[in-house]
Amino acid sequence: MRLKDARPLFPEYTDPAALHGFLSRISELPADTGEPPSDRTGDLALLAATATWRDIDGPARFDSFARAWSARHRAAAELVFAGSPLTAHRAGAFADGLIDWLAGRVQDASVRTLVVALDLLRRAGALPGETAEERLWHFCDLAGRDEFRSTLGEIFPELRRQLGVLTRNTLRHARRMLEATTAAVSDGTLPPAATGGGLVQLHDIGYGLGDTHAGGQTVCRLTFGGDRVIVYKPRSMAAELAYATLVGRIGAAAGFDLPVLQVWCGRGVGWQEYADQAPAIEEARYFRAAGRLLGVLHLLRAGDMHYENVLNHRGLPVVVDAESLFSVNRRAGAAGTGSAGETLAHTVFSTGFLPTRISDPADPSASIDIGFLGYVPGQRAVTPVPALEDFGTDRPRVTMVTGSVDTPAVRPQTVPRAVELAELCRGFAECWDWAAGDRDLVESWLRELFADLPTRAVLETTGKYYKLLRTAAHPAFQQSTGAKRMLLHRVGLGRVEHFTPAVVRAEIDDLLQGDIPFFTLRTDSTWVHHRDRPIADVLSRAPLDQAIDGLRAMSGAERELNLRVIRAAYVDLTGPEADAPAYLPAMRRASRAGVPGRIRQVVGDIAAELHDRAGFAGGRPGWVGATIRDTTQEHPWRVDELGDDLYAGVPGLALFLAAAGVLLDEPRHRELARAALVPRVRALLDDPARRRREMAGGLCGGYAGVAFAAIEAGRLTGSAELSEIGAALWDLLPGDLPAMTDTDFLMGSAGLLAAAITVGRPAVTEAAFRHLIATPSAGKSLYSGFAHGTSGTLAALARYGTARPELAAAHETLWNHGEQHWAISDRAPERAARGWCHGTPGVLLGYSERLAAGESVPAGPAADVSRLAETVAVDGFGLNLSLCHGDVGNLLILDGAARWDSSGRTAERAEDRRAQLVTRVLPRALRARSGKSVLNDSLYVGLAGVGMGLLLSTGEVDVASPLTFRRAAVDRETP
């Protein structure tokens, strides 16, 4: 295929020379002369002569071509099974089963070409029949004939080649599997315990239990007499045997109940006991066993332990596919940077065993939890598959559909998530402590059992390979092997620089076979292997050496890091009950004497934890944990490196650390805050395009929050550098404001206006005000709360010194006179809420802010601060511990409202809630670590927010509140 004809396949390359350089690194390119192969699709019209009327007999079978192609090879298949004593008694039936599997694969490879053929013949009027159904039937009848197969093969020679390869590989795979199994039964490799003993015969063979690799080979399920089932795997299973032996030794030495599957090894192949997949034991000890198993997998640097590779056996979790042991490795040339992302890659999270959500690139709102402990049946799949639409007519078409994943659930359903998490952590810690205490023994076992064994190397996601295979099945690539091969070079995009061209060439060769590329590592080598041949030296050290390095480096700090990651993986799974504080009716006044000291202790503990968990890459601190990546998703939380937003990212943590450093007089916290913010601010100053992209999130989600955190932290830490560059970034906001579409307090110009008044740089203040009043709101829902509603906007305008009577009037309409509560919105007048974002606490904060700005508020129960405060005191606690929409935030709101309640009752309520929080509620929550508020580190909904809220409640640090962006020491400002 000529280079100029290949250019449309690589739109990423606009420069022909660059494209030539990319392709020539992988393959020797043909001379760029001559004409490309002509499109012969129109020659399908030749089939019209053979499309004659026949009496319709039975339903239309669109797989008639695939069935006819495969049926030609049934005799060869029967010979395979007739030659083994395991299958000779039912050779014909076994041949039929193999041919059915082959027909399904042929159909997948040819369906798009068949749709094109049907469409061309229909448009040419060549198909007999008066109705669409009759024409479809005649096409299916035609597709099963020899002349159709011959003509299709001439027009689409690459399809003919591919089907020939697929057929030969299928027969070869069946023959190899049967010969190996027959020999293993004969020589005793497969004992009676595996086959049932007596007259050993196979009763059933199930094909395609996994992807095909290395010449059409795949995992098979073998059923012997007495329903004795084992699994055949067409690769070495020495690693599985070593794994089973190691787990058995650990179980005996440490007293752990860890089941394993029996393994029998042949020459280059193996067999494994079939997991019974019985229901999990409905007890907490299931998760304790899961935690211990997770500890073993982490020791072995395992990956890919998702819901298909770990199943239940005898009621407990068991690994059914251990091919990805020793797969978490550091690449050659990638010296440890200490970055948060690299830190995460070498924790338990890389096993794939924990709850692990992945997103669908085609639909940002969709995701699936593929982790063994997170999977639930019925989730929407993230990988679309081809399907026929409008079948039953003569106009079917191939479309990509996304169905559900219905693999049975494995985890017990009756154990509460909080108990699950506690037992999982307990089991993991037990395994860690045992291994750390006997690391010399463990190292000796690793060296003995895992020396020079093959394990799988996953170099690219299976989804990307499948996408390429589906694209390559288009008729445009079925006419020329050269065109298909050229298309498959796309597998090297962005990767040929990281993997050698030999790896990419091997991927292309496997894809041309219709297989998913398969690579291996050897535990004693730094090379990647393809079909037992070393092709690329890519690792910094051999996998076994890296695992032993990890064993030797086990420490208390690493233990705690991994436990934090385990907990972070559950942030979206533990229910509200795990996060809800419980209060006494009232706390004795004498018990409140130690509250200031307890606040300092809690703030100090949280700050120290965040300080000690920071990772460093090139002098840039970062954190890993649970963070919100995309708020449009139903499940927005991910375990990842924390981002650069104020709400759930590094700037929020830095702002808290700076304030905590002042309260506690801890220079290390102030310095970490400065070090975390300086490089992030400088990166934004240097990247105008990024600033425009990150304007839309406002103070909480955009770069304005980074600048605000830098200005506040610079003032608190005394860093002139941070203050200066923070102000420089802040001053760029007016130019990027057109990219902001929201006007609310959390992510829009109302919050920006409030923060700008605090910062005191008039150009930004004026720009934020103009944006706020100029942005149309017609047609949008009207919310009452502070973060997203009228309360926050009116508070910001009051601080600016301007009144908007029409907005105030609209706000007052949200008071539900009948129910005597503030409605969430004009579209839900019956619903009340209990947090800062929506409902009464946000309304109370809004009125308190307007009063602090010198504005009067309406008379009546809707704006009666003492009455609203009583509602918040009664209904606004017992939710969760977060600053954004939980008890800590509501404590600050109640505390602020106390100033406007002359009776002193609000102040008394706030004092009691603060005392109970710091003496009873928080110590228990921080020990249990099961609620969302203490499973993540964020400022608004996590640990940093808990610390910041308590810190602000002391009144000892002049720092802006994340709820108002106003410093407590400032009562009234003018623009």
Binding-site positions for Zn(2+) read 837, 884-885
**CA angle, residues 619, 625, 627, in degrees to nearest 5:** 105
- Closest alpha carbon to 928 in 412, 419, 292, 348: 419
CA distance 838 to 833: 6
Q: Which amino acid, 847?
A: Y
Q: Is 201 exposed, middle or buried (0-12, 13-18, 19+ CB in 10 A)?
A: middle
Helix 703-717 to helix 720-730 angle, to the nearest 10 degrees?
Answer: 150
Q: Provide the Cα torsion 854, 859, 861, 863; round to 10°.
A: -20
**CA angle, residues 542, 269, 248, in degrees to nearest 5:** 65
Give the helix ranges, DSSP H, for 450-500. 462-472, 481-488
Give long-range contacts, CB 8 A cutoff, 24+ apart: 446-449.
Answer: 446/246, 446/544, 446/547, 446/548, 446/551, 447/544, 447/548, 449/242, 449/245, 449/246
Q: Are strands 270-273 and 310-313 parallel, antiparallel or unpaired?
A: unpaired
Residues 6+ apart with CB under 8 A from 632: 364, 365
Distance, C-alpha 514 to centroid of its chain: 28
String of b and e for 732-742 (b: at least 16 CB within 10 Å)? bbbebbeebeb
- Closest alpha carbon to 164 in 178, 176, 149: 149
CA distance 921 to 937: 18
Q: Which two tokens stand for residue 554?
A: 């086990």
CA distance 826 to 785: 12
CB 839 within 8 A of CB 886: no
Q: Is 82 exposed, middle or buried (0-12, 13-18, 19+ CB in 10 A)?
A: middle
Helix 650-664 to helix 667-685 angle, to the nearest 10 degrees?
Answer: 150
CA distance 514 to 214: 10
Q: Which residue has the tokens 């001053």?
A: 731
Q: Which helix (H) or strand (E) holds 750?
A: helix 749-759
Coarse DSSP helix, strand, coil percentages of the chain, rounded to the nearest 5 percent: 50, 10, 35
CB 296 within 8 A of CB 431: yes
CA distance 653 to 649: 7
Give the number of other CB atoms < 10 A from CB of residue 516: 19
Q: Is 380 exposed, middle or buried (0-12, 13-18, 19+ CB in 10 A)?
A: middle
Q: What is the DSSP string of 213-231?
A: BTTTB--EEEEEGGGEEEE
Numbered residues of the known binding site: 837, 884-885
**CA angle, residues 956, 958, 962, in degrees to nearest 5:** 110
- Closest alpha carbon to 233 in 256, 215, 199, 210: 210
Q: For the chain, how big is the Rg over CA atoms in Å?
A: 33
Largest CA distance in the chain: 101
Q: Which two tokens stand for residue 244?
A: 């089973």
